[in-house]
Amino acid sequence: MSNENKEQESIENDVNVTVDKSKRKFSKAGIVAPVIMTLANRPAWGAQNMCSISGFDSLNVQQNPISGVDFIEQSCGNHISHGHWRGEGPLYSWPGLYRAAERVTEDVGSEVYAIYSNDPNDNGKAARITAKVSALPDDGFIYNTDDVFGTSTGLTLLEVLNETGNTYEFLRNMIGLLLAQEEGGFAYLSKIEIIGIYNALNTGGTYTFASSGITWSYDDFNAYHIYLMAHHT
């Protein structure tokens, strides 16, 4: 082979190498670019309203936590925690037709109910039924969990809130949301949804939100409730 032919072959080899490298570089650039764009866009995800069902579900946070995302600081509502409603002050100011009531013992062998009323005429004191009774009075106020959630606990709303342990943990959480919703401090679930969620998930089923078609299991809702507890006032 002549020197001229060798030079031409060398030039062609160099060109091929250059083109191949260029293709490889371009190919890598095509892979890296979307990743960089995705990372750059991550902070924008935090602008979504994570307090809403659709906002919380959109990123599937409950199943696939996204690292590196700083969600915006936001409050999902007021008085969502069930602990608030068993406090001394709120006992006298439960919202709507709901009244805090519990069984107490005053005299030996006498079982009575203490009913906490927000009626100004009661001067902030508990109105008490002094006779031994087997049920709360039918005066239009709602005391029992059975009347609200269709349960068979035989306990009042306040008695469930005062329970400890895991037996009534889910119900306690839902009572907290219900009272907050009735008070006007929590607007992301309706009263019908709160009751429906409890009845569906407490039996191991799922709940589908009519407005969005989103279906959640107990684990999904529990993750949402944890988020609410971390973002409320």
Span 14-41, pLDDT tens digits: 444 444 444 433 333 343 444 333 333 3
Q: How many Å apart are CA 118 and CA 129, to the nearest integer?
A: 16
Contact 92, 117 (CB under 8 A): yes
- Residue from 92, 94, 114 nearest 103 by CA: 114
DSSP 180-214: HHHHTS--SS-HHHHHHHHHHHTTT--EE-TTT--
Residues 6+ apart with CB under 8 A from 184: 95
Least confident residue range of 38-47, 144-153, 166-175, 205-214: 38-47
Span 187-203, pLDDT tens digits: 999 999 999 999 999 99
Q: What is the rounded average pLDDT for all residues in the chain?
A: 77
Span 76-117, pLDDT tens digits: 999 999 999 999 889 988 999 999 999 887 665 667 888 888
Side chain identity at residue 29, one-letter code: A
Plot region of 140 (φ>0 → left; ψ -120 to 50 → alpha; else → beta): left
Q: What is the pLDDT of residue 88?
A: 84
